[in-house]
């Protein structure tokens, strides 16, 4: 578990550190004795679906962004094992969680429908006429024998 406190994500979103659970484990891969003996990898768990800190719109976008890192129960799992030290892996996992929530907090800009320009419309019609002409030339000519 992390220190008791609040993590400011955006001006309107603040997450209580008690909502974030961490578990330490041995990292895999190269590293020799360091990897074999120490539990330097960290796994952060954040319950997206039941978090009182997240507004509903941010929660929905975060669930979409999380993808395969989200369990069936709506728990986001972030594993950090890039660094040799447990402290640096903790920071890395927390930074990645904060970045993910910030990206979810940014509302997508609404699409404004536009009309094609007159030139684009004319080019489209011209290419359709050209294609039609090519197909017309391929047709079998009726024989009057």
Walk along the chain (145 residues) and give the pLDDT tens digit of each residue: 445 678 888 778 888 788 888 888 877 666 666 656 677 788 888 888 888 888 888 888 888 888 888 888 888 888 888 887 888 888 888 899 889 888 888 888 999 999 999 999 999 999 999 999 999 999 887 777 6
**pLDDT for res 2:** 43
With contact defined as beta carbons under 8 Å apart, do 40 and 89 qualify? yes
- Beta-carbon contacts of 94 under 8 Å, excluding residues fewer than 6 positions away, are 2, 7, 20, 44
Q: Is residue 99 part of a domain?
A: yes
Task: Show the domain range for 89.
Answer: 6-105
Q: Specify the pTM.
A: 0.65
Structural domains counted in the chain: 1
Q: Is residue 96 part of a domain?
A: yes
**pLDDT for res 1:** 44
**pLDDT for res 121:** 97
Q: Is residue 111 part of a domain?
A: no
Phi, psi of 54 (to 5 degrees): -100, 130
Structure-token pair, residue 69: 């890192």
CB burial readout 56-84, b (16+ within 10 A) else e: eebbebbbeebeeebeeebbbebbbbebe
Q: Is residue 123 part of a domain?
A: no
Q: Is residue 49 part of a domain?
A: yes
Question: Which CATH number does the domain housing residue 100 bear?
Answer: 3.30.160.20
Q: Is residue 129 part of a domain?
A: no
Burial of 13 (0-12, 13-18, 19+ CB in 10 A): middle
H or E segment to which residue 87 belongs = helix 86-105
**pLDDT for res 118:** 96
Q: Is residue 91 part of a domain?
A: yes
Helix/strand/coil for 38: coil
Q: Is residue 118 part of a domain?
A: no
Helix/strand/coil for 31: coil
């Amino acid at each position: 578990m992390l220190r008791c406190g609040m993590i400011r994500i955006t001006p309107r979103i603040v997450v209580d550190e008690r909502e974030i659970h961490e578990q330490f484990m041995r990292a895999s891969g190269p590293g020799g004795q360091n990897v074999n003996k120490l539990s330097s990898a960290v796994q952060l768990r954040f319950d997206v679906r039941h978090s009182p800190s997240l507004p509903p719109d941010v929660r929905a976008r975060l669930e979409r962004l999380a993808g395969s890192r989200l369990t069936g129960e709506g728990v986001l799992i972030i594993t950090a094992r890039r660094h040799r030290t447990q402290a640096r892996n903790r920071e890395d996992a927390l930074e990645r969680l904060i970045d993910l929530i910030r990206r979810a907090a940014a509302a997508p800009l609404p699409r404004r429908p536009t009309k094609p320009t007159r030139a684009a419309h004319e080019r489209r019609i011209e290419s359709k006429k050209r294609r039609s002409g090519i197909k017309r030339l391929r047709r079998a000519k009726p024989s009057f024998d």
